[in-house]
Each structure stands twice: as C-alpha cells, then as structure tokens.
Chains A and B, each alone.
Chain A
C-alpha cells in the first residue's frame, strides 16, 4: 500500500519535475513534442478534476442537507441551481442562435431579434445580475469600512490615508478638475501625474519585493515537491 500511496507518486513527481525542468532549457523538436503531449494529458486530467470538483460540491451539500445543519436551505439552492442549468443545457443546448439585426427603411440598425435558449436566459438574467450585484455591493462596504476604520492613528496610517486620497482623486476626472496645475509643464494635471508617480515608484517597488518573495517561494516549494520533501499534495498532511 505504501508503494501505491507514497513511493509511486513521489517517483512520478520527481521524474516529471526533472523532465519538465530540462525541457524548458533544451528547445529541441523532441522536447517540444514531449511538451505538447504532456500539455494534452494535463488538459484531459483538468477536465476530470472539474468532474471531481462537481462531485465534491454536491457531496458536501448532500451531507449538509441530510444532517439539516444550519443554513441547509442554501444547499437546496445549490442543488436547484445546478440541476436547472444542467437540464436546460442538456435539453435545449447552451448557445443562442446568432441575433439578427432589425433595419429601418434607411438601412440603419434599430435593434436586434435574439432568440433565447433557457440556459442562456438563466445566464443573462439570473447568473449575470447576481454576480454583478455581489461585486457591486463591495462599493457600499468599502465606503462604510473606510468611514469606520480609515483613521490617522499613527504616522504610517496617516501616510496611507493621504496616499489613498491622492490616488482616489487622481484616478477619476474629478482630480484633474480640482487642481489644473501641470507639473514640469507636462500633459497631466498635478493629481493624475502624482498618482502615476506613486504607482510607478513606491507602489511598484513594494510590488516587486512581493513578487520576488513569491517567486523564491514557488522555486523552493517546487524543489521540495520534486525531491519528495513536500508531500502534502498527496493528502493526509504527511
């Protein structure tokens, strides 16, 4: 059992890790063919991962429903939504026929005739507005959170506060109307110019530091996986 659950996955990770590493630095025809094969296999496996994800989601909510845990009503919504979209897609298809333009006597387009399939109707009139609503609610919470928490409590918080105000004004037309002075005789008024300077200098320097840190972390984790030190991907936390 150890062989199947532990040694073979570690050996596969080692061999594939080393081969993919070498492939990157040896751009021959054979290595390109190898890469093409591997990507095709990986994409097929990704498709199965999607199925696994669906099974996992439905299974999780099935147990919530069976045990009637708090909020089980939302699990009903998951099941109804999932099967409504699935049945609509399988029964009537998932792509609307192309719309046809409506022309007036002068030949100008005045509208369009679009035939909706049930799947696309649900996409356009249920999924799309719901997801857009979820995201737009952020604006309300950001305003409320900023009012409550964005305080100049110390020097660092004050710098953050001032920078945020400059960037918020510089990123909208209002900023350009407020101060019309153009620094260094450039094309941009002060606030948009200063916003670009902040984004291109202090902000970018911080971002670059974060990116280098992430890059080093990715390299070290990859090496740990290739050499079998990191094994959490096999499950069980070992």
Chain B
C-alpha cells in the first residue's frame, strides 16, 4: 500500500481538476479510500503504521470536505493555479455588492429581533438562491473563462454570503435551543 501526500485532492479522488464535480463519484471514492486507509483497519498494527493511517485518513477527510464545498473547491482550484484569493486582505468590493450586503444585514437584524424561525428560514432560502447563482458564476469563471482574478472576486463574495448564512443559522439556533 502506498500513499502520495503530494498529489492534489482531485488526483486522490481520481477526478478531473475542474469546478464541475461528479458528486456521486466523489462520494463513492471517499468511501473506497476510507475503507482502505481508516485507522480502524490498522488498530492492531504497530505505532508507526497506525500514525501513518491516521495521517492518511485525516488527509482523505480534508480533501473530501474541500471538494464537497463549492466555496472551498473554488478556493482550492485557485490555489492550485497559484492565485491568492486574498480573503483576509482584499476588502475592495463593487459598490452594488456592498449595497446588497448592507440590505442583507438589515434584513437579518430585523428578522432576528422578531425571533421568528420561519422568517429566518425564509431569509435563508433567499440567501441560498443568491449563493447558487454566484456558485454557477464561479464555476464558469474557472472552468470556461479561466479568468482567475474574477474568480477570486467571486470567492470573496461567496465568503461574505457564507458568513451571512452562519449568522442566520446562529440566530435560528438561538431561538430554538
């Protein structure tokens, strides 16, 4: 049994290096990989082997999570192409996106105050639609246009939307639990 820690997540999962993803193949390969490398397979082996199996299984989980999430997958593809998404440093955003952000925040603030789970869930559905549209755009920018600077912008925008999604989720939990 061999494992190459240097290979890309796509290579590990025997998938083409693209944003478009065959989810069924990803899931099937994930189970095959864990069946082969999971620490449970090596519970009775020596320390070094168990440690290695732990590292491999950890890598497989990390790769699976990265490829499964559109945002993480886009970010990873850009990293492979040598592009920094500058999510922490680049805060320059188009004016219309910033305006839309402010509207989202206001809506979340108001709905939070109402403590209505239904209203928060409705907001979440609207946000999911916007996220889906932006995800489609990101896919086209990477796979078709190979416009990485524009794709990096899309990743930064998606990160914003993800934070909004987390905020709504926290608000729902605060009401429910």
Co-assembled chains A and B: no
Q: Name A residues whose Cβ lies closer than 8 Å to a Cβ of B.
A: none
By a beta-carbon cutoff of 8 Å, the part of chain B in contact with chain A is none
